[in-house]
Copies of this chain bind each other. A is one copy, B any other.
């Protein structure tokens, strides 16, 4: 149990970050509003977690103009995909051991 526990990545422990990464693992990209609705989050809550994941190099953020509005789109980086897979493996081993 302890080894799996140590391998759980604190960067992904929050439910919101698990949700963001899960969406970005199965979709090439997702925009801010889709993520917000899908995960039932507030703007502030989503923004603070995407910023943190971006600073860790796990996702990238792209802003584009759609008419007069900006559209923010996120993608998981190869590094983010690898780290998330390792986290899921650790979580699964931990759960199996409990």
Contacts and interface: CB of A to CB of B under 8 A. Distances in A.
Contacts of A5: 15, 18-19, 22, 39
A61 interface: no
A24 to B, nearest CB: 10
A8 interface: yes
A91 B88 contact: no
Interface of A: 1-2, 5-6, 8, 10, 13-15, 18-19, 22, 25-26, 38-40, 88, 91-92, 94-95, 97-98
10 contacts: A1-B22, A2-B39, A5-B19, A5-B22, A5-B39, A8-B18, A88-B95, A88-B98, A91-B91, A91-B95
When A and B form their complex, which 7 residue pairs have the shortest distance between CB atoms, in order from nearest? A22-B98, A8-B15, A13-B15, A5-B19, A13-B13, A13-B14, A10-B15
